Amino acid sequence: MNVDFIIVGQGISGTLLQWFLHQEGQSFMVIDNGSDRASSKVAAGIINPVTGRRYQTTWKADELLPFAVRTYGELGNFFGTTYLHPKSVIDFFPSAQARNIFVERVEAGNAYLSPYPDQNDYNPYVHYDFGCGRIHPAYVTSLGALLADWRGWLRREGRLREEHFAPELVQPEAEGVVYGDITAQKVIFCEGAPGDQNPWFRLLPFAPNKGEALFIECKDLPATHILKKGFLLAPLAEPGMFWAGSSYAWEDLESGPTEAFRLRTEALLDGMLRVPYKVLDHKAAVRPATVERRPFIGLHPGHPQIGIFNGMGTKGTSLSPYFAQQLVNHLLHGAPLTPEADVSRFSRLLSR
């Protein structure tokens, strides 16, 4: 079988790379084992332009957000559905100090922050003593539905092999790469967290961490916005369902959901909500984060037949659309990559 590209992985990064390759008329074969522990299948798909306790605007937010809105809209049109749901983040200040920092950012002109117009609006539902602010725009992406719809399309088109990828079978050649019975111009690894074990890219400064989330039913809580009070509570597509998370752990990454997280998050929910809720599920996954908190995108300096699209960390939903198209434009048209994301910044390391 001859194709233009072999794509390893069908998380959100792999899916969006495949989407833009399809838009360019490129042929590809996707190899993905369908693991339920992939971080894209556990994440809430939140796009939030502000981060941290000091309300800093996220990297490249002004470019990433409109591009993500357009891309998820185009995918929705392709499948006749809606994947991106506009929201605001309602931030319930945990202290007067946090409120003051928020006000300072508003007064300094941060366009994503504003006072919430009715400070008593959430009194029937949430305990809060220091008021709340609004982060806007923000979005919740139906990642599960998008990934499932795209996987179904791959199956129908004969572009998916549902199996474990064996990197030792990759044979780089002068004009491309061979993997089993597949010959391609290039193989692009979109593996997510397992990327730190990839024989061509394992020297990169990955910093994988585990995140956990509770999936709860809370029928009396409005699903209008994403709520934040020490953690995020995001409405899901099914009415009355919410995602509560997340956490960061750098040890025991493969230990799965922990009782400590569940107890801590239930205590936070008890302290936050005035309305009853029920925990329905508890999941964990390892995120493909990096030391620099910047992606790894591009071709291996010693093996230009082999590429990587990985390292999105907690921002995969917002970073992947923009950088997937950028990588496709680089591969097909020689367009430059963003220097902070270009894997060539590690050429010396990868050349060892």
Q: Are residues 201 and 211 in the same domain?
A: no
Co-location of 297 and 268 in the same domain: no
Q: Which pair of structure tokens corresponds to residue 206?
A: 């990955």
281 in the same domain as 216: yes
CA gap 78, 225 in Å, rounded: 26
**First-to-last CA distance in the chain?**
33
Q: Please give the Cα distance from 165 to 224 (Å, whole number).
A: 41
Q: Find out whether 41 and 294 touch, Cβ atoms under 8 Å.
A: no
Query: What pLDDT does 44 receive?
Result: 87
pLDDT of the residue at 247: 79
Runs of H (alpha helix) within the chain: 12-23, 61-79, 96-107, 143-157, 259-272, 316-333, 347-350
H/E stretch holding 183 reads: strand 182-189
Helix, strand, or coil here: 313?
helix
- pLDDT tens for the chain, residues 1 to 352: 999 999 999 999 999 999 999 999 999 999 999 877 677 778 889 999 999 889 999 999 999 999 999 999 999 999 999 999 999 999 999 999 999 999 999 999 999 999 999 999 999 999 999 999 999 999 999 999 999 999 999 999 999 999 999 988 999 998 899 999 999 999 999 999 999 999 999 999 999 999 999 999 999 999 999 999 989 999 998 999 999 998 788 888 887 899 999 999 999 999 999 999 999 999 999 999 999 999 999 999 999 999 999 999 989 999 999 999 999 999 999 999 999 999 999 999 998 7
3-state secondary structure at position 29: strand
**What is the C-alpha to C-alpha distance for residues 279 and 277, in angstroms, rounded to an integer?**
7
Dist. CA 330–CA 316, nearest whole Å:
20
Beta bridge partners of 242: 216, 235
Question: What are the pLDDT digits (tens) for 141-181?
Answer: 999 999 999 999 999 999 999 999 998 899 999 889 999 99
- Residues 115 and 24 occupy one common structural domain: no
Sign of the C-alpha dihedral computed for residues 299, 304, 307 and 311 taken in this order: negative
Give the model's pLDDT for residue 232: 95
Return d(Cα 19, Cα 72) in angstroms, integer: 11
Q: If we measure between CA atoms, which residue out of 50, 152, 65 comes closest to residue 101?
A: 50
Quick one: pLDDT at residue 37?
67
Examine the domain organization and report whether 135 and 211 are in the same domain: yes
Same domain, 267 and 225: yes
R_g over Cα of the chain: 21
pTM, two decimals, is: 0.95
- Residue 52 domain-assigned (yes or no): no
Is 75 part of a structural domain of the chain? no
| Whether residues 302 and 346 fall in one domain | yes
- Please state, in angstroms and rounded to a whole number, the distance separating the CA atoms of residues 72 and 58: 20
Are residues 113 and 191 located together in one domain of the fold?
Answer: no
Q: Which residue has the tokens 């508003």?
A: 106
Q: Is residue 168 part of a domain?
A: yes
72 in any annotated domain: no
Total domains, the chain: 2
Question: DSSP assignment, residue 2?
Answer: E
Q: 79 - beta bridge partners?
A: none
**Pick from 237, 271, 287: which residue ends a domain?**
287
13: number of CA atoms within 13 Å, CB side?
A: 31
* Cβ proximity of 170 and 6 under 8 Å: no
Same domain, 223 and 332: no
| Residue 231 maps to a domain | yes
**Are residue 132 and residue 259 in the same domain, yes or no?**
yes
Cβ proximity of 17 and 328 under 8 Å: yes
| Domain extent for 318 | 2-42+144-205+292-350
Pick the last residue of a domain from 233, 252, 287: 287
Classify residue 310: in a domain, yes or no.
Answer: yes
> Given the structure tokens 């092999």, which residue do they identify?
161
Residue 201 to residue 138: CA distance in whole angstroms: 33
CATH of residue 243's domain is 3.30.9.10
**Single-letter residue type at 67:** F
How high is the pLDDT of residue 248? 82
Give the whole-angstrom CA distance, residue 186 versus residue 332.
11
283 and 232 together in one domain: yes
Cα 41 from Cα 143, distance rounded (Å)? 7
**201 assigned to some structural domain:** yes
211 and 283 together in one domain = yes
Q: Which has the closest alpha carbon to 215: 138, 308, 305, 278?
A: 278
Q: What is the C-alpha separation between 106 and 88, in angstroms, rounded?
A: 16
